[in-house]
Amino acid sequence: MAFQARARHDNDGSVILDTRHHEAGLNCFQPEQSITRMLVKYIVCDPCLVKQRTDEAEQDGIVGSDEFTHKALPDPFGGDPRAHAPQPRTVQRQREPVYPLHAIAQRTFGDLPLGRVISMEEARESADLQSLLDIVAEDMQAINRIILDKAVSDVEMIPELAHHLIDSGGKRLRPMLTIAAAKLVRYGGTGHIRVASAVEFMHTATLLHDDVVDESATRRGRKTARMIWGNQASVLVGDFLLGQAFRMLVEVGSLPVLKIMSNAAATIAEGEVMQLAAAKNTATTEDEYLAIINAKTAALFSAAAEVSPALAKQPAEEQSALKSYGKNLGLAFQLVDDALDYAGDSARLGKSTGDDFREGKITLPVILSFRRGSTEERAFWNRTIVEGEIKDGDLEHAIALMKRHKAIEATMDRARSYGAIARDALAIFPDSREKASLEKVISFCVNRNH
Amino acid sequence: MAFQARARHDNDGSVILDTRHHEAGLNCFQPEQSITRMLVKYIVCDPCLVKQRTDEAEQDGIVGSDEFTHKALPDPFGGDPRAHAPQPRTVQRQREPVYPLHAIAQRTFGDLPLGRVISMEEARESADLQSLLDIVAEDMQAINRIILDKAVSDVEMIPELAHHLIDSGGKRLRPMLTIAAAKLVRYGGTGHIRVASAVEFMHTATLLHDDVVDESATRRGRKTARMIWGNQASVLVGDFLLGQAFRMLVEVGSLPVLKIMSNAAATIAEGEVMQLAAAKNTATTEDEYLAIINAKTAALFSAAAEVSPALAKQPAEEQSALKSYGKNLGLAFQLVDDALDYAGDSARLGKSTGDDFREGKITLPVILSFRRGSTEERAFWNRTIVEGEIKDGDLEHAIALMKRHKAIEATMDRARSYGAIARDALAIFPDSREKASLEKVISFCVNRNH
């Protein structure tokens, strides 16, 4: 039995945790359980317990850390930690108030399963994603099983490293698009599950290689695989996951799908090389930058949405519509990402504000500030981004310049504009729950603050 | 008109060079000409001219360097360098004797086309490859055109970096196997050209990533791409080439072929991770090592041979036969490679003897010497391979230990044994020119000294 946790408000207003940590009689997780992932709506959490996980970087009280454990710590419900029964338990004996928290994924720490916890505020913000989550929930379970299955190898390092990233609490937005698009076009088969899994594998492979190329130390608040297993293993396991992605696609056996995905694979790599070539070049134009993110980010979003009508052998116009939806959603997503790197809440982002600045990455907020800036200001951008000479206070100055030239606002405006294109692309489809959920994803991407 | 060069012995014994460097009236190569590749049998060469290219590392006289140029240097035939006519010219006015040399490939240096030159002795040794070369020559021209075409990208760095490796004088053994196998099974279509090109792209992508993982400084006697463009670009261009490989395979549209190739892609990566995990571990057994080279080397040889009967929809036994041929040929090839690294002629190998030793790579000669060695000798292997503590004279001592325990001979015996399996795998095919050429490739792989 896999880890499960659900919470609901009881009649008397107290919070009930429906928890099934492990089989009765077992007092620890089995390895195959500890790597199970799931989506849960709410989870209650004892702040004492949370604090044991938050001492390092407690930033806003109880949800200072986004990880908490369910094992080997005092039972928040006052019971015997070895006696969790697989039935609902009313939370009554807490020593301090129990806060309802929103857990969206599970990851592991050694063999300890950890929940990723976000605040209620953030839970409200992600409500835009909720209708999509509801629609894809069942299929995502199947996808999660396939992902675990296909990350297996006799070569120990492969599943270890792959799981590090797979279990790290990513939203799995891309495969969710594939599933929702399949439902939108009333696809009746099962191939979309494998195709969506391949989409996620291709994304994971890209992240592994990205972190090597960018020399990144953290991703989603955790050490990158390259910091633990090295660049070499990250490159090779990325190659393995890409190979597995194509294996799965071949199993599905749709040549149109294979065509879309192989085009995406080559285009993403092309975009990454473009970005590498443009690195530290403040003269990059907005158009050049758009070409880069079109290839490196939007191509996979676009493919993820387009594969479903292709698989379902739907008319060309439905395929183009979802292709355009995915592409513009991807552009919006990336631009918001760029804006958040200068304006976001680092605790929620899972990465620090200013990462792009410190890495000398050219993103739209920098491009706009540079173009709109004075000669002096351009000298500042050249010193920091091009020369990489960053002093104390430079990030704050960069953000101040962006504010002066409304660069973040302009970036968000652009994102909203691509979001509008994505929304219009869907217009040819009759109204449905799926269409509404895909529209809401646009709001999620544009309004998210993490 | 692409660059062409052919030589034959005239009645009077003098060597004739049939050369067509460029269109009459043009005095420089067009970019599209300068990157054309071809196979030529013989080429004559003025030693004065060769010496202009050999000052850096002249090792055995006239063929000290493996590069020479055909442009912007004094005309070796005494004529006006801008007046090469597209017809045979008898070499009569040479200032020094003209040596017949064997040029097997062309590469570029900036926009200068360079020939890769090997000695007559080596030419004799490669005679085993000649029948294969003759059979595949025409199709290889088509493949070379596709390879050039598919390495193109608007992102400048991609073709630059890709060509560095593509033009570096590799034998293109793997795509040649695909072509010869297609002819062996009387495949009547044209898909094998694209499939063979994809095989070569997958190999090239692997080499790019390999050099990053192994931190190699040279390959085939030239700086590796990572030393010129960096690890980051090597990783990403490798990804691009892999994406292009799948694009080409999708164009051909055979799902059985796609299945073989996607399996190979995942297996190769798995093998590379296995090798990484086994690195510097002298306790690796011969079986474990075989599993590694089976995955990292033999899988692509195997796929290269197997795809052709799959494409031609031949009976399963022909597919298994060629799969087995390719796999065992690949094992033999890799084992000879391992032996040559300790016993080879570094000038011809294009890499220095002892590279594996210095990189702490576990290969069969080391495994056998370690197992057959005394406690003292094992301590030596642990100090050098595991600890990486290498002093002057250690490589010579390693080679002496290998001689004492007949480790190189045993490695070559193993290689011959796999070669025999490969030969027997072909037995089900009726005798033909193609079958004979594939058999000779085994001799080439086993007997080569470079």
Best of A195, A259, A262, A280 to mutate (most B CBs within 10 Å, chain B): A262
Rounded to whole angstroms, the Cα distance separating B298 from B264 reads 9
- Would you say residue B31 has pLDDT above 80? no
Return the higher-pLDDT residue of A338 and A3: A338
Mean pLDDT of B381-400: 94
- In the structure encoding, which two tokens stand for residue A399, read together? 């953000």
Nearest CA in chain A to B267: A240
Residue B73: pLDDT band (50, 70, 90) is very low
Mean pLDDT of all residues belonging to chain A: 77
Residue A270: pLDDT band (50, 70, 90) is very high
- In the structure encoding, which two tokens stand for residue B107, read together? 């590469």
- Residue corresponding to tokens 């004996």: A93
Mean pLDDT of A73-90: 36
What are the beta bridge partners of residue B223?
Answer: B218
Q: In this structure, what are the phi and psi dihedrals at residue A177, rounded to the nearest 5 degrees?
A: -60, -45
Ranking A57-71, A297-311, A329-343, A377-391 by mean pLDDT, the lowest is A57-71
Rounded to whole angstroms, the Cα distance separating B343 from A330 reads 54
Q: Which amino acid is at A326?
A: G
> Cβ–Cβ of A153/B235 closer than 8 Å?
no
Per-residue pLDDT at B41: 30
Rounded to whole angstroms, the Cα distance separating B40 from B44 reads 11
Q: Kindly compute the dihedral angle of the four CA atoms of residues B62, B64, B66, B67, in this order, to the nearest 10 degrees.
A: -70
> Is residue A158 within 8 Å of residue A208, measured between CB atoms?
no
Q: Which amino acid is at B333?
A: F
Least CB-CB distance to A266: which of B247, B255, B274? B247
Sheet holding A112-118, edge to edge: A43-45, A99-109, A112-118, A67-69
> Cβ–Cβ of A262/B247 closer than 8 Å?
yes
- Would you say residue A389 has pLDDT above 90? yes
Rounded to whole angstroms, the Cα distance separating B245 from B202 reads 6
Return the higher-pLDDT residue of B108 and B305: B305
- Would you say residue B173 has pLDDT above 70? yes
Q: For residue range B319-377, what is the model confidence (pLDDT) as tens digits?
A: 999 999 999 999 999 999 999 999 865 545 455 678 889 888 999 999 999 999 999 99
B237: chain A residues, CB-CB within 8 Å: 269, 273
- In the structure encoding, which two tokens stand for residue B227, read together? 């030393």
What are chain B's domains? 2-116 (no CATH), 128-447 (1.10.600.10)
Nearest CA in chain A to B256: A250
Angle at B76 between CA B74 and CA B82, to 5 degrees: 55
Indicate the pairing of strand B218-219 with strand B222-223. Answer: antiparallel
Ranking A98-112, A134-148, A219-233, A309-323 by mean pLDDT, the lowest is A98-112
> Is residue B155 within 8 Å of residue A274, measured between CB atoms?
yes
What are the beta bridge partners of residue A116?
Answer: A67, A105
Least CB-CB distance to B273: which of A236, A247, A265? A236
Mean pLDDT of A329-353: 79
Residue A126: pLDDT band (50, 70, 90) is low
Per-residue pLDDT at B79: 43
Q: Residues for chain A: how many in total?
A: 450
Least CB-CB distance to A246: which of B157, B262, B268? B262
- Would you say residue A327 has pLDDT above 90? yes
DSSP state string for A327-341: HHHHHHHHHHHHHHH
> Is residue B364 within 8 Å of residue B414, measured between CB atoms?
yes
Angle at B296 between CA B292 and CA B302, to 5 degrees: 110
- Would you say residue A78 has pLDDT above 70? no
- In the structure encoding, which two tokens stand for residue A55, read together? 């001492």
> Is residue B91 within 8 Å of residue B48, measured between CB atoms?
no
Mean pLDDT of A78-83: 40
Least CB-CB distance to B246: which of A209, A237, A262? A262
What are the beta bridge partners of residue B100?
Answer: B44
Rounded to whole angstroms, the Cα distance separating A436 from B332 reads 59
In A296-381, which ranges are continuous DSSP H helix?
Answer: 299-311, 316-343, 346-349, 355-358, 364-372, 375-381
Residue B281: pLDDT band (50, 70, 90) is confident
The alpha-carbon radius of gyration of chain A (Å, integer) is 22
Best of A152, A153, A154, A155 to mutate (most B CBs within 10 Å, chain B): A155
Nearest CA in chain B to A211: B232
Per-residue pLDDT at B355: 85
- Would you say residue A167 has pLDDT above 70? yes
Per-residue pLDDT at B126: 63
Nearest CA in chain B to A278: B155
A232: chain B residues, CB-CB within 8 Å: 212-213, 276
- Would you say residue A50 has pLDDT above 90? no
- Counting beta carbons within 10 angstroms of the beta carbon of residue B110, is it exposed (0 to 12), middle (13 to 18) or buried (19 or more)? exposed
Helix or strand run (H / E) with residue A117? strand A112-118
B156: chain A residues, CB-CB within 8 Å: 277
Residues on B contacting A at a C-beta cutoff of 8 Å: 153-158, 209, 212-213, 231-233, 235-237, 239-240, 242-244, 246-247, 249-250, 253, 255, 258-259, 261-263, 265-270, 272-274, 276-277
> Cβ–Cβ of A258/B250 closer than 8 Å?
yes
CA distance A298 to chain B (A): 16
Convert A236-275 to b/e letters by CB count within 10 Å (16 or more is b). Answer: bbbbbbbbbbbbbbbebebbebbbbbbbbbbbbbbbbbbb
Return the higher-pLDDT residue of B74 and A377: A377
Least CB-CB distance to A269: which of B239, B262, B266? B239
- Would you say residue A343 has pLDDT above 90? no
- Would you say residue A296 has pLDDT above 90? yes
- Would you say residue A407 has pLDDT above 70? yes
- In the structure encoding, which two tokens stand for residue A127, read together? 């409500």
Per-residue pLDDT at A102: 36
Ranking A98-107, A425-434, B211-220 by mean pLDDT, the lowest is A98-107
Return the higher-pLDDT residue of B211 and A78: B211
Per-residue pLDDT at A171: 85
- DSSP, collapsed to helix, strand or coil, labels residue A350 as coil
B160: chain A residues, CB-CB within 8 Å: none
Per-residue pLDDT at A123: 52
Rounded to whole angstroms, the Cα distance separating A362 from B285 reads 49
- Would you say residue B156 has pLDDT above 80? yes
Rounded to whole angstroms, the Cα distance separating A299 from B167 reads 30
Nearest CA in chain B to A208: B235
Mean pLDDT of B266-284: 91
> Cβ–Cβ of B276/A240 closer than 8 Å?
no
Mean pLDDT of A280-291: 92
- Would you say residue A248 has pLDDT above 50? yes
> Is residue B266 within 8 Å of residue B215, measured between CB atoms?
no
The beta-strand segments (E) located in A362-437 are none
Mean pLDDT of A242-268: 98
pTM of the model: 0.74
> Cβ–Cβ of B231/A232 closer than 8 Å?
no
- Would you say residue B384 has pLDDT above 90? yes
Per-residue pLDDT at B170: 81
Mean pLDDT of B274-290: 91
Q: In this structure, what are the phi and psi dihedrals at residue B9, rounded to the nearest 5 degrees?
A: -85, 130
Nearest CA in chain A to B214: A232
CA distance A268 to chain B (A): 8
Taking Cα atoms as reference points, which of B212, B213, B238, B239 lies closest to residue B227?
A: B212
- Would you say residue A122 has pLDDT above 80? no
Q: How many CB pairs under 8 A join A and B?
A: 135
Mean pLDDT of A266-280: 92
- DSSP, collapsed to helix, strand or coil, labels residue A125 as helix
Rounded to whole angstroms, the Cα distance separating B16 from B333 reads 36
> Cβ–Cβ of A265/B212 closer than 8 Å?
no
Mean pLDDT of B279-300: 94
pLDDT over 70 percentage in chain A: 70
Q: How far is CA B58 from the centre of its chain?
A: 22
Taking Cα atoms as reference points, which of A292, A266, A231 lies closest to residue B231?
A: A231
Sheet holding B4-9, edge to edge: B4-9, B15-20, B89-90
In B169-315, which ranges are continuous DSSP H helix?
Answer: 173-184, 191-214, 225-252, 255-278, 286-293, 299-311
Return the higher-pLDDT residue of B219 and B66: B219
- Residues in contact with A273: Cβ distance below 8 Å, sequence separation at least 6, in sequence order: B153, B155, B157, B158, B233, B236, B237, B240
First-to-last alpha carbon distance for chain B, in angstroms, is 33
Nearest CA in chain B to A265: B243
Rounded to whole angstroms, the Cα distance separating A230 from A220 reads 18
Per-residue pLDDT at A64: 27
> Is residue A65 within 8 Å of residue A54, measured between CB atoms?
yes
ipTM over 0.90: no
Per-residue pLDDT at A199: 98
CA distance A149 to chain B (A): 14
> Cβ–Cβ of A156/B277 closer than 8 Å?
yes
> Cβ–Cβ of A237/B158 closer than 8 Å?
no
Per-residue pLDDT at A9: 41
- Would you say residue A36 has pLDDT above 60? no
Rounded to whole angstroms, the Cα distance separating A366 from A407 reads 8
Per-residue pLDDT at A430: 97
A155: chain B residues, CB-CB within 8 Å: 270, 273-274, 277
- Would you say residue B174 has pLDDT above 50? yes
Mean pLDDT of all residues belonging to chain B: 77
Rounded to whole angstroms, the Cα distance separating B44 from B47 reads 9
DSSP state string for A55-82: SSS--SGGGSSSEEESSSS--TTSS-GG
- Would you say residue B448 has pLDDT above 90? no
Taking Cα atoms as reference points, which of B95, B32, B107 lies closest to residue B70?
A: B107
Least CB-CB distance to A273: which of B240, B253, B277? B240
Count CB neighbours of A374 within 10 A.
Answer: 11
